[in-house]
Amino acid sequence: MKRLATLAATCLLAAIGATAGPAAGSATAATTPVIRVMPLGDSITWGVGSATGNGYRGPLADLVGGQSRYTVDFVGTMRDGSMSDSQNEGHSGYSIASLQAGVDRWLAMDRPDVVLLHIGANDLDHGVQAGAGDRATALINQIFADRPGITVIMQGIVPTSPGLNNQLTTSQIASYNNQLSALASTEQQQGKHFTFVDAPTLVPYNAPNPEMADGLHPNDLGYARMAQNFFTPLDQAYSKGWVTGGAPLPEGPLLTSAMTGDTVHVYRVTPDGLLQTNDGDYDARTWSGWNQLGGSQVVSLTAVATGSTVHLYAVTQDGMLHTTDRNYATGGGWNGWRYLPGSQIESLTAAATGDTVHLYAVLRQNGVPRTADQNYDSNAWTDWRDLGGTQISEMVAATTGNTVHLYAVTQDGLLHSDDGNYTAGTWTGWNDLGGSQVSSLAAAAIGTTVHLYAGTQDGLFHSADGDYSSATAQWGGWSNQSGSLVAHLAASADRQYVHLLASTTDGMTHSEDADYGQFTWNGWYSL
């Protein structure tokens, strides 16, 4: 069994205090903000023609490294180049229409703050020049519809490109570039953060001291000039407050879990948005192994059990909410996915009191937390309502009695809590829990104690216990635990045990069990 590496490190989380603090949206950033940048385009974004494979992304990273106000995390489903942060959304040979077909899922999966757009060369080079500017405009508006508030920086087609098929002409390139350049003022008048910059005039590949590798792709000299043309508007976007960045987000398989009896049901999202499940029977000490579960285009997932039934909730790339149920006692299958009210959801968590499931969602546009209730006895739905706070990136929940304890990480990596008493119908309001640099969370309750688990920005793993037996929660402070490369966490309570699940940045999924009767951990093992 593959175990997570054990690392001894100074705990990056401050001890939790019991006093109330600022609201969830008012925490002050403790570290240099990280801007999530998605390079989006075709083979030039991928880096064809570059000796290192880094394309413009490598020299752009060097330019960003020359200042200290922010850092950049390149995001995307593709990887290419010798640079350590090689993620991108560059697809060789893709037309604008091909990018339109995939962009919804890519944006939802990677949640960028900025898109660097370089598109259209394949359309013009393959003889489909007509309407290329309109298709590019539609893609840009699709990006803004998917992620309101995002910044899009578009660089035009290199004006000296003849194309691989000698289809590109100076007039065609100029017409396309001029249409997109004129779009910038229109988009900005509508409040959208869109900038168009001209591409540099590069020395052709068949001339002395060329800056192009062929008729379409720059060489490393040309990519360095493209990088400068992207860096200037990126830096200006930060100076203007178009983009502020935040704490880094973990990158690894999304996880959730739920218990029925002595069996933990683990659900994870694969990189292509599909679902898998694995069942661990802790009395028999067996796992079923990973099996495919119906569903696709999933970008957020949560599960909760009422009795022997697990309710699974999924957010798809369009921000819509879906649910399916399975009663594990009857041995039947899943009931099939159905829509629930809710849209533009970024992330989701859930908790149950009795037969009622309480859903908690973070909205894409502003990180506002909302809640809604589904009673599975009466089948009554209580519609969404705001919980207060903004700029939240993730929430998890645990239940003691009839009270749900909600824990939130804001985009600056700080930690907050809010307690909802569903008997009294009251919430305490957000309290500052004093943690920092948090990137992932999980929580599970045994009796009146909530066990809270946090992965921090360095990929390490920590835990803290909160005793809710009195009116004011008593926390014991954070402890370092073994484990590294932590991306996402999930936890389920089972008698005196908590079964902890972790995905790591290498794409693996692991489990570890905490025995709170004996105060022992059994060590990580790979699922």
Q: Report yes or no: 154 and 194 within 8 Å, Cβ to Cβ.
A: yes
Three-class secondary structure of residue 307 per DSSP: coil
Written as one string, the DSSP assignment of 80-98 is -SSSSS-EEEE-TT--HHH
Question: For the segment 216-236, what is each residue's pLDDT rounded down to a tens digit?
Answer: 999 999 999 999 999 999 999
Question: For the segment 50-102, what is each residue's pLDDT rounded down to a tens digit?
Answer: 999 999 999 999 999 999 999 999 998 788 898 988 889 999 889 999 999 88
Tell me what pLDDT residue 477 has.
86
Find residue 431's DSSP bridge partners: 417
Kindly tell me if the per-residue pLDDT of 13 is higher than 80. no
Other C-beta atoms lying within 10 Å of the C-beta of residue 11: 17
Interhelix angle 220-239/57-64, rounded to 10 degrees, is 40
Nearest to 301 by CA among 263, 265, 335: 265
Q: Report yes or no: 91 and 99 within 8 Å, Cβ to Cβ.
A: yes
Strand residues in 84-136 grouped as ranges (E): 87-90, 114-118
Mean pLDDT in residue range 377-403:
93
Cα–Cα dist 420/413, whole Å: 23
pLDDT tier at 334 (50, 70, 90 boundaries)?
very high
Cα–Cα dist 47/62, whole Å: 16
More confident: 498 or 129: 498
Please identify which residue in the block is written with the tokens 């579960």: 293
Residue 420 parent element (H or E):
strand 415-421
Please identify which residue in the block is written with the tokens 């000698």: 166
Cα–Cα dist 349/314, whole Å: 10
For Cα atoms 39, 251, 8, give the angle at the middle one, nearest 5 degrees. 135
- Judged by average pLDDT, the poorest of 391-395, 409-413, 429-433 is 409-413
Q: Report yes or no: 408 and 417 within 8 Å, Cβ to Cβ.
A: yes
List of residues 6+ apart from 289 with CB closer than 8 A: 278
pTM over 0.75: no
Find residue 135's DSSP bridge partners: none
Please identify which residue in the block is written with the tokens 């040979």: 93
pLDDT tier at 507 (50, 70, 90 boundaries)?
confident
Three-class secondary structure of residue 303 per DSSP: strand
Residue 100 parent element (H or E):
helix 96-110
Residue 458 Ramachandran class (φ > 0 left, ψ -120 to 50 alpha, else beta):
alpha
Mean pLDDT, rounded, of the chain: 89
Tell me what pLDDT residue 27 has.
28
pLDDT tier at 4 (50, 70, 90 boundaries)?
very low
Mean pLDDT in residue range 401-427:
92
Residue 282 burial class via C-beta count within 10 angstroms: exposed 0-12, middle 13-18, buried 19 and up: middle
More confident: 343 or 135: 135
Find residue 110's DSSP bridge partners: none
Q: In the 8-state DSSP scheme, what is residue 18? A: S
Three-class secondary structure of residue 460 per DSSP: coil
More confident: 110 or 431: 431
Helices (H), 219-288: 220-239
Cα–Cα dist 37/58, whole Å: 13
pLDDT tier at 318 (50, 70, 90 boundaries)?
confident
Question: For the segment 236-249, what is each residue's pLDDT rounded down to a tens digit?
Answer: 999 999 999 887 77
Other C-beta atoms lying within 10 Å of the C-beta of residue 469: 10
Find residue 231's DSSP bridge partners: none
Q: Report yes or no: 429 and 418 within 8 Å, Cβ to Cβ.
A: yes
Query: Phi, psi at residue 342, to the nearest 5°?
Result: 140, 140
pLDDT tier at 30 (50, 70, 90 boundaries)?
very low
Nearest to 279 by CA among 268, 270, 271: 268
pLDDT tier at 366 (50, 70, 90 boundaries)?
confident
Nearest to 49 by CA among 161, 178, 179, 195: 161
Tell me what pLDDT residue 51 has.
94
CA distances from 434 to 13, 27, 237, 431, 473 (A): 8, 10, 31, 9, 14
How does strand 193-197 pair with strand 309-316? unpaired
CA distances from 226 to 103, 288, 477 (A): 23, 51, 49
Cα–Cα dist 76/92, whole Å: 14
Q: Report yes or no: 140 and 154 within 8 Å, Cβ to Cβ.
A: yes
